[in-house]
Amino acid sequence: MVKKRQLILSVIAAILITAVLTFTFTNFMSLRLGDKVIISSSDYEIVKESRKLLTLKKYIDKYYLEPADSEKLMDGAIKGMFQALGDPYSVYMNEKEFKEFDESTSGSYGGIGVIVTEKDGYVTVVAPIEDTPGEKAGLKTGDKIIKVDGAEVTGIGLDKATTLMKGKKGTKVVLTVSRENKTEPLVIEIKREDIVLKTVKAEILKDEIGYIRISMFDQDTGKEFKRALADIKTHDAKGLIIDLRQNPGGFVTQCVEVADELLDKGTIFYTEDKNKNQVVTSSKDGKIDIPFVVLVDEGSASASEIVSGAVKDRKAGLLIGTKTFGKGLVQSVEKLGDGSGFKLTIQKYYTPNGIDINKVGIEPDIEVKALEIKEGQRPEDVKDVQLDRAIEEIQKLIK
Protein backbone atom coordinates (compact mmCIF):
# COMPACT_ATOMS: atom_id res chain seq x y z
CA MET A 1 0.00 0.00 0.00
CA VAL A 2 2.80 2.39 0.90
CA LYS A 3 4.65 1.60 -2.33
CA LYS A 4 1.48 2.13 -4.36
CA ARG A 5 0.85 5.47 -2.64
CA GLN A 6 4.44 6.53 -3.30
CA LEU A 7 4.12 5.50 -6.93
CA ILE A 8 0.92 7.53 -7.40
CA LEU A 9 2.47 10.59 -5.75
CA SER A 10 5.58 10.17 -7.86
CA VAL A 11 3.50 10.15 -11.05
CA ILE A 12 1.60 13.24 -9.89
CA ALA A 13 4.90 14.94 -9.05
CA ALA A 14 6.29 14.09 -12.48
CA ILE A 15 3.24 15.62 -14.19
CA LEU A 16 3.46 18.74 -12.06
CA ILE A 17 7.18 19.17 -12.61
CA THR A 18 6.69 18.71 -16.38
CA ALA A 19 3.96 21.35 -16.39
CA VAL A 20 6.11 23.80 -14.49
CA LEU A 21 9.19 23.22 -16.64
CA THR A 22 7.07 23.62 -19.78
CA PHE A 23 6.32 27.13 -18.61
CA THR A 24 10.05 27.62 -17.81
CA PHE A 25 9.35 29.33 -14.53
CA THR A 26 11.35 28.43 -11.39
CA ASN A 27 10.44 25.64 -8.95
CA PHE A 28 6.80 25.68 -7.98
CA MET A 29 6.77 22.46 -5.85
CA SER A 30 4.25 21.43 -2.89
CA LEU A 31 2.77 18.05 -2.18
CA ARG A 32 4.77 15.94 0.29
CA LEU A 33 6.40 12.59 -0.38
CA GLY A 34 7.46 11.31 3.03
CA ASP A 35 9.25 14.23 4.64
CA LYS A 36 10.10 15.89 1.31
CA VAL A 37 8.18 18.89 -0.05
CA ILE A 38 7.16 18.38 -3.69
CA ILE A 39 4.98 21.46 -4.06
CA SER A 40 4.15 24.19 -1.54
CA SER A 41 0.52 24.71 -0.58
CA SER A 42 0.65 28.35 -1.67
CA ASP A 43 1.32 27.25 -5.26
CA TYR A 44 -1.23 24.43 -5.33
CA GLU A 45 -3.71 26.49 -7.36
CA ILE A 46 -1.05 27.04 -10.01
CA VAL A 47 -0.57 23.29 -10.17
CA LYS A 48 -4.31 22.71 -10.68
CA GLU A 49 -4.33 25.23 -13.52
CA SER A 50 -1.28 23.57 -15.08
CA ARG A 51 -3.06 20.21 -14.93
CA LYS A 52 -6.05 21.77 -16.69
CA LEU A 53 -3.77 23.08 -19.43
CA LEU A 54 -2.18 19.66 -19.94
CA THR A 55 -5.60 17.99 -20.05
CA LEU A 56 -6.75 20.34 -22.79
CA LYS A 57 -3.49 19.87 -24.68
CA LYS A 58 -4.01 16.07 -24.62
CA TYR A 59 -7.61 16.48 -25.77
CA ILE A 60 -6.47 18.59 -28.74
CA ASP A 61 -3.78 16.05 -29.61
CA LYS A 62 -6.34 13.25 -29.55
CA TYR A 63 -9.36 14.80 -31.27
CA TYR A 64 -8.39 17.91 -33.26
CA LEU A 65 -9.03 17.33 -36.97
CA GLU A 66 -5.63 18.56 -38.20
CA PRO A 67 -2.11 17.85 -36.88
CA ALA A 68 -1.27 20.26 -34.06
CA ASP A 69 2.18 21.75 -33.51
CA SER A 70 2.91 21.23 -29.79
CA GLU A 71 5.47 24.04 -29.66
CA LYS A 72 3.02 26.53 -31.19
CA LEU A 73 0.30 25.45 -28.79
CA MET A 74 2.52 26.02 -25.75
CA ASP A 75 3.81 29.33 -27.14
CA GLY A 76 0.20 30.42 -27.61
CA ALA A 77 -0.73 29.38 -24.07
CA ILE A 78 2.17 31.32 -22.58
CA LYS A 79 1.45 34.38 -24.75
CA GLY A 80 -2.15 34.25 -23.61
CA MET A 81 -1.07 34.20 -19.98
CA PHE A 82 0.96 37.38 -20.43
CA GLN A 83 -1.78 39.08 -22.47
CA ALA A 84 -4.31 38.30 -19.74
CA LEU A 85 -2.35 40.59 -17.40
CA GLY A 86 -3.79 43.52 -19.36
CA ASP A 87 -0.38 45.22 -19.31
CA PRO A 88 0.93 46.25 -22.76
CA TYR A 89 4.50 46.22 -21.47
CA SER A 90 4.46 42.60 -20.27
CA VAL A 91 4.87 40.19 -23.15
CA TYR A 92 6.21 36.74 -23.96
CA MET A 93 8.29 36.39 -27.14
CA ASN A 94 9.21 33.21 -28.98
CA GLU A 95 12.80 32.73 -30.13
CA LYS A 96 12.36 34.70 -33.37
CA GLU A 97 10.50 37.55 -31.68
CA PHE A 98 12.99 37.80 -28.82
CA LYS A 99 15.88 37.95 -31.26
CA GLU A 100 14.17 40.80 -33.13
CA PHE A 101 13.49 42.61 -29.84
CA ASP A 102 17.13 42.20 -28.81
CA GLU A 103 18.30 43.59 -32.14
CA SER A 104 15.97 46.59 -31.85
CA THR A 105 17.72 47.69 -28.63
CA SER A 106 21.29 46.97 -29.67
CA GLY A 107 21.81 49.54 -32.41
CA SER A 108 20.63 47.95 -35.66
CA TYR A 109 17.54 46.17 -37.01
CA GLY A 110 15.26 46.06 -40.04
CA GLY A 111 11.92 47.86 -40.10
CA ILE A 112 10.28 51.28 -40.14
CA GLY A 113 11.68 52.74 -36.90
CA VAL A 114 8.71 53.41 -34.65
CA ILE A 115 8.12 52.73 -30.96
CA VAL A 116 4.56 51.58 -30.18
CA THR A 117 2.51 50.68 -27.15
CA GLU A 118 -1.01 49.33 -26.62
CA LYS A 119 -3.45 51.98 -25.44
CA ASP A 120 -7.20 51.44 -25.09
CA GLY A 121 -6.84 48.32 -27.23
CA TYR A 122 -5.07 50.15 -30.08
CA VAL A 123 -1.49 49.84 -31.31
CA THR A 124 -0.45 53.42 -30.58
CA VAL A 125 2.67 55.31 -31.63
CA VAL A 126 4.77 56.49 -28.68
CA ALA A 127 7.33 58.10 -30.98
CA PRO A 128 8.89 57.56 -34.38
CA ILE A 129 12.66 57.23 -34.09
CA GLU A 130 14.60 60.12 -35.55
CA ASP A 131 15.80 59.81 -39.17
CA THR A 132 13.92 56.56 -39.80
CA PRO A 133 11.32 55.69 -42.46
CA GLY A 134 8.51 56.04 -39.89
CA GLU A 135 9.46 59.61 -39.06
CA LYS A 136 10.05 60.56 -42.70
CA ALA A 137 6.63 59.15 -43.63
CA GLY A 138 5.01 61.47 -41.10
CA LEU A 139 3.95 59.11 -38.29
CA LYS A 140 3.21 61.05 -35.10
CA THR A 141 2.90 60.41 -31.38
CA GLY A 142 -0.65 59.28 -30.66
CA ASP A 143 -1.32 57.79 -34.09
CA LYS A 144 -3.38 54.60 -33.81
CA ILE A 145 -2.26 51.90 -36.25
CA ILE A 146 -5.40 49.97 -37.12
CA LYS A 147 -4.20 47.94 -40.12
CA VAL A 148 -0.88 46.65 -41.46
CA ASP A 149 -0.99 45.67 -45.14
CA GLY A 150 -4.77 45.52 -44.87
CA ALA A 151 -4.77 43.17 -41.86
CA GLU A 152 -6.53 44.39 -38.70
CA VAL A 153 -4.08 44.71 -35.79
CA THR A 154 -6.40 46.05 -33.09
CA GLY A 155 -6.46 43.57 -30.23
CA ILE A 156 -3.90 41.13 -31.67
CA GLY A 157 -1.09 42.16 -29.27
CA LEU A 158 1.95 44.35 -29.70
CA ASP A 159 4.33 41.54 -30.56
CA LYS A 160 2.21 40.37 -33.51
CA ALA A 161 1.63 43.91 -34.72
CA THR A 162 5.31 44.84 -34.64
CA THR A 163 6.24 41.58 -36.39
CA LEU A 164 3.90 42.52 -39.24
CA MET A 165 5.53 45.94 -39.53
CA LYS A 166 9.04 44.53 -39.73
CA GLY A 167 10.56 43.03 -42.85
CA LYS A 168 13.49 42.99 -45.21
CA LYS A 169 15.20 46.20 -46.24
CA GLY A 170 13.68 47.62 -49.42
CA THR A 171 10.25 46.04 -49.00
CA LYS A 172 7.17 48.18 -48.42
CA VAL A 173 4.50 48.12 -45.75
CA VAL A 174 1.18 49.95 -45.83
CA LEU A 175 -0.20 51.27 -42.52
CA THR A 176 -3.77 52.42 -42.00
CA VAL A 177 -3.65 55.04 -39.27
CA SER A 178 -6.31 56.79 -37.21
CA ARG A 179 -5.19 60.28 -36.19
CA GLU A 180 -6.81 62.72 -33.81
CA ASN A 181 -8.77 65.48 -35.57
CA LYS A 182 -8.85 63.44 -38.82
CA THR A 183 -12.27 62.13 -39.81
CA GLU A 184 -10.91 59.51 -42.22
CA PRO A 185 -8.06 57.04 -41.60
CA LEU A 186 -4.73 57.83 -43.26
CA VAL A 187 -3.10 55.27 -45.52
CA ILE A 188 0.70 55.55 -45.30
CA GLU A 189 3.12 53.52 -47.41
CA ILE A 190 6.58 53.11 -45.88
CA LYS A 191 9.69 51.54 -47.35
CA ARG A 192 11.53 49.45 -44.78
CA GLU A 193 15.21 50.12 -44.11
CA ASP A 194 17.97 48.78 -41.89
CA ILE A 195 17.48 50.86 -38.76
CA VAL A 196 20.90 51.89 -37.46
CA LEU A 197 20.58 53.92 -34.30
CA LYS A 198 22.81 56.84 -33.46
CA THR A 199 21.11 58.05 -30.34
CA VAL A 200 23.14 61.16 -29.52
CA LYS A 201 23.83 64.19 -31.73
CA ALA A 202 25.56 67.38 -30.65
CA GLU A 203 26.28 70.83 -32.05
CA ILE A 204 26.99 74.41 -30.99
CA LEU A 205 24.16 76.88 -31.53
CA LYS A 206 24.38 80.68 -31.50
CA ASP A 207 25.75 82.54 -28.47
CA GLU A 208 27.92 79.56 -27.50
CA ILE A 209 24.96 77.42 -26.49
CA GLY A 210 25.50 73.68 -26.67
CA TYR A 211 22.75 71.42 -28.02
CA ILE A 212 22.58 67.64 -27.43
CA ARG A 213 19.77 65.59 -28.92
CA ILE A 214 19.07 62.13 -27.41
CA SER A 215 16.64 60.17 -29.61
CA MET A 216 16.43 57.12 -27.30
CA PHE A 217 18.46 55.30 -24.65
CA ASP A 218 20.19 52.28 -26.16
CA GLN A 219 23.18 50.32 -24.84
CA ASP A 220 25.72 53.02 -25.72
CA THR A 221 23.78 56.23 -25.02
CA GLY A 222 25.48 57.04 -21.72
CA LYS A 223 28.92 56.76 -23.27
CA GLU A 224 27.86 58.76 -26.34
CA PHE A 225 26.35 61.51 -24.14
CA LYS A 226 29.55 61.87 -22.11
CA ARG A 227 31.54 62.11 -25.34
CA ALA A 228 29.17 64.77 -26.70
CA LEU A 229 29.30 66.69 -23.43
CA ALA A 230 33.11 66.68 -23.48
CA ASP A 231 33.04 67.98 -27.07
CA ILE A 232 30.60 70.75 -26.10
CA LYS A 233 32.94 71.80 -23.28
CA THR A 234 35.92 72.11 -25.64
CA HIS A 235 33.94 74.81 -27.46
CA ASP A 236 33.52 76.74 -24.19
CA ALA A 237 29.74 76.44 -24.23
CA LYS A 238 28.08 78.77 -21.73
CA GLY A 239 24.77 76.91 -21.60
CA LEU A 240 23.27 73.62 -22.73
CA ILE A 241 19.99 72.42 -24.27
CA ILE A 242 19.19 68.71 -23.93
CA ASP A 243 16.51 67.60 -26.36
CA LEU A 244 14.44 64.61 -25.19
CA ARG A 245 11.45 65.26 -27.44
CA GLN A 246 10.07 62.12 -29.11
CA ASN A 247 12.47 60.05 -26.99
CA PRO A 248 10.53 56.84 -26.17
CA GLY A 249 12.97 55.66 -23.48
CA GLY A 250 15.11 52.52 -23.43
CA PHE A 251 17.71 51.26 -20.97
CA VAL A 252 17.32 52.70 -17.46
CA THR A 253 21.04 52.20 -16.79
CA GLN A 254 21.82 54.58 -19.66
CA CYS A 255 19.46 57.34 -18.57
CA VAL A 256 21.01 57.11 -15.10
CA GLU A 257 24.44 57.76 -16.65
CA VAL A 258 23.03 60.85 -18.36
CA ALA A 259 21.28 62.10 -15.21
CA ASP A 260 24.48 61.60 -13.19
CA GLU A 261 26.23 64.13 -15.46
CA LEU A 262 23.48 66.70 -14.88
CA LEU A 263 22.83 66.32 -11.17
CA ASP A 264 24.85 66.61 -7.98
CA LYS A 265 24.64 63.96 -5.28
CA GLY A 266 21.06 62.91 -4.54
CA THR A 267 18.10 60.80 -5.68
CA ILE A 268 17.44 60.34 -9.40
CA PHE A 269 14.39 58.10 -8.86
CA TYR A 270 13.26 55.18 -6.75
CA THR A 271 11.33 52.03 -7.56
CA GLU A 272 8.73 50.10 -5.60
CA ASP A 273 7.70 46.48 -6.22
CA LYS A 274 4.48 44.63 -5.33
CA ASN A 275 5.73 44.05 -1.78
CA LYS A 276 6.45 47.78 -1.30
CA ASN A 277 10.20 47.17 -1.32
CA GLN A 278 11.96 50.34 -2.43
CA VAL A 279 15.24 50.74 -4.27
CA VAL A 280 16.73 54.22 -4.59
CA THR A 281 18.98 55.15 -7.51
CA SER A 282 21.19 58.14 -6.82
CA SER A 283 23.59 60.43 -8.63
CA LYS A 284 27.14 60.96 -7.40
CA ASP A 285 28.95 64.15 -6.43
CA GLY A 286 29.77 66.47 -9.31
CA LYS A 287 27.69 67.84 -12.19
CA ILE A 288 28.04 70.07 -15.23
CA ASP A 289 28.93 73.64 -14.35
CA ILE A 290 26.77 75.44 -16.92
CA PRO A 291 23.00 76.11 -16.87
CA PHE A 292 20.82 73.80 -18.93
CA VAL A 293 17.26 73.25 -20.06
CA VAL A 294 15.54 70.04 -21.13
CA LEU A 295 13.09 69.91 -24.04
CA VAL A 296 10.20 67.41 -23.63
CA ASP A 297 6.91 66.59 -25.33
CA GLU A 298 4.18 63.96 -25.43
CA GLY A 299 6.63 61.53 -27.08
CA SER A 300 9.08 61.72 -24.16
CA ALA A 301 8.51 58.47 -22.29
CA SER A 302 9.92 56.06 -19.73
CA ALA A 303 13.70 56.55 -19.33
CA SER A 304 13.50 60.09 -20.70
CA GLU A 305 10.88 60.83 -18.03
CA ILE A 306 13.26 59.57 -15.34
CA VAL A 307 15.79 62.22 -16.41
CA SER A 308 13.10 64.90 -16.78
CA GLY A 309 11.47 64.12 -13.43
CA ALA A 310 14.77 64.26 -11.56
CA VAL A 311 15.77 67.55 -13.20
CA LYS A 312 12.41 69.12 -12.37
CA ASP A 313 12.07 67.84 -8.78
CA ARG A 314 15.62 68.82 -7.89
CA LYS A 315 15.35 72.17 -9.67
CA ALA A 316 18.57 71.47 -11.53
CA GLY A 317 17.33 72.90 -14.83
CA LEU A 318 14.19 74.01 -16.66
CA LEU A 319 11.78 71.71 -18.50
CA ILE A 320 10.35 73.32 -21.63
CA GLY A 321 7.75 71.94 -24.04
CA THR A 322 4.58 69.93 -23.38
CA LYS A 323 3.50 67.24 -20.91
CA THR A 324 5.38 63.95 -21.27
CA PHE A 325 3.90 60.55 -22.19
CA GLY A 326 3.45 59.04 -18.71
CA LYS A 327 5.13 55.63 -18.53
CA GLY A 328 6.32 55.04 -14.99
CA LEU A 329 6.70 51.26 -15.06
CA VAL A 330 9.87 49.17 -15.02
CA GLN A 331 10.19 45.87 -16.89
CA SER A 332 12.51 42.96 -16.34
CA VAL A 333 13.74 41.41 -19.59
CA GLU A 334 14.63 37.72 -19.33
CA LYS A 335 15.98 35.32 -21.94
CA LEU A 336 15.05 31.67 -21.50
CA GLY A 337 17.14 28.61 -22.28
CA ASP A 338 15.41 27.87 -25.59
CA GLY A 339 16.05 31.37 -26.98
CA SER A 340 12.58 32.70 -26.17
CA GLY A 341 12.13 35.38 -23.54
CA PHE A 342 9.77 37.83 -21.92
CA LYS A 343 9.30 41.32 -20.55
CA LEU A 344 7.42 41.62 -17.28
CA THR A 345 6.46 44.74 -15.36
CA ILE A 346 7.95 44.27 -11.91
CA GLN A 347 8.20 47.77 -10.47
CA LYS A 348 6.78 51.27 -10.61
CA TYR A 349 9.15 54.20 -10.42
CA TYR A 350 8.74 57.51 -8.64
CA THR A 351 10.47 60.86 -9.06
CA PRO A 352 12.70 62.16 -6.21
CA ASN A 353 9.66 63.91 -4.67
CA GLY A 354 7.69 60.65 -4.66
CA ILE A 355 5.49 61.50 -7.66
CA ASP A 356 3.89 58.63 -9.59
CA ILE A 357 3.90 59.77 -13.24
CA ASN A 358 2.41 56.61 -14.80
CA LYS A 359 -0.48 57.49 -17.15
CA VAL A 360 -0.10 61.08 -15.93
CA GLY A 361 3.15 62.42 -17.35
CA ILE A 362 5.32 65.32 -16.24
CA GLU A 363 4.26 68.93 -16.71
CA PRO A 364 7.04 71.20 -18.03
CA ASP A 365 8.13 74.28 -16.10
CA ILE A 366 7.38 76.34 -19.21
CA GLU A 367 4.72 75.08 -21.62
CA VAL A 368 5.37 75.71 -25.29
CA LYS A 369 3.30 73.87 -27.88
CA ALA A 370 4.94 72.93 -31.16
CA LEU A 371 3.52 74.42 -34.34
CA GLU A 372 1.38 71.99 -36.29
CA ILE A 373 2.87 70.49 -39.43
CA LYS A 374 0.39 71.08 -42.24
CA GLU A 375 -0.27 68.79 -45.18
CA GLY A 376 2.66 68.85 -47.59
CA GLN A 377 5.07 70.45 -45.11
CA ARG A 378 8.28 68.80 -43.99
CA PRO A 379 9.15 68.94 -40.26
CA GLU A 380 12.35 70.88 -41.00
CA ASP A 381 10.32 73.60 -42.77
CA VAL A 382 8.26 74.39 -39.64
CA LYS A 383 9.63 76.88 -37.11
CA ASP A 384 10.80 75.12 -33.94
CA VAL A 385 9.23 77.42 -31.36
CA GLN A 386 10.13 75.09 -28.48
CA LEU A 387 13.83 75.20 -29.31
CA ASP A 388 13.63 78.97 -29.80
CA ARG A 389 12.15 79.35 -26.30
CA ALA A 390 14.85 77.10 -24.84
CA ILE A 391 17.54 79.32 -26.41
CA GLU A 392 15.78 82.40 -25.04
CA GLU A 393 15.69 80.97 -21.50
CA ILE A 394 19.33 79.89 -21.62
CA GLN A 395 20.35 83.36 -22.76
CA LYS A 396 18.67 84.80 -19.65
CA LEU A 397 20.63 82.42 -17.43
CA ILE A 398 24.07 83.06 -18.94
CA LYS A 399 23.93 86.85 -19.06
Q: How far apart are CA 329 and CA 89, in angstroms?
A: 8
How many whole angstroms separate alpha carbon 235 and alpha carbon 398? 15
327 as an active site residue: the answer is yes
Q: Which of 302, 304, 308, 340 is catalytic?
A: 302
Task: Answer whether 51's CB lies under 8 Å from 39's CB.
Answer: no
Beta bridge partners of 358: none
315: left (phi over 0), alpha (psi -120 to 50) or beta: left
Catalytic residue from among 166, 313, 340, 343: 313
Cα–Cα distance measured from residue 134 to residue 115, given in angstroms and rounded to the nearest whole number: 10
Concerning whether 313 is annotated as a catalytic residue, the answer is: yes
Q: Which of 79, 327, 340, 343 is catalytic?
A: 327
Contact criterion met (CB below 8 Å) for 391 and 210: no
> What distance in Å separates the CA atoms of residue 23 and residue 120, rounded to the nearest whole number?
29
CA 183 to CA 215: how far, in whole Å?
A: 31
d(CA 341, CA 94): 7
Q: How far apart are CA 281 and CA 76, in angstroms?
A: 37
- Please list the active-site residues: 302, 313, 327
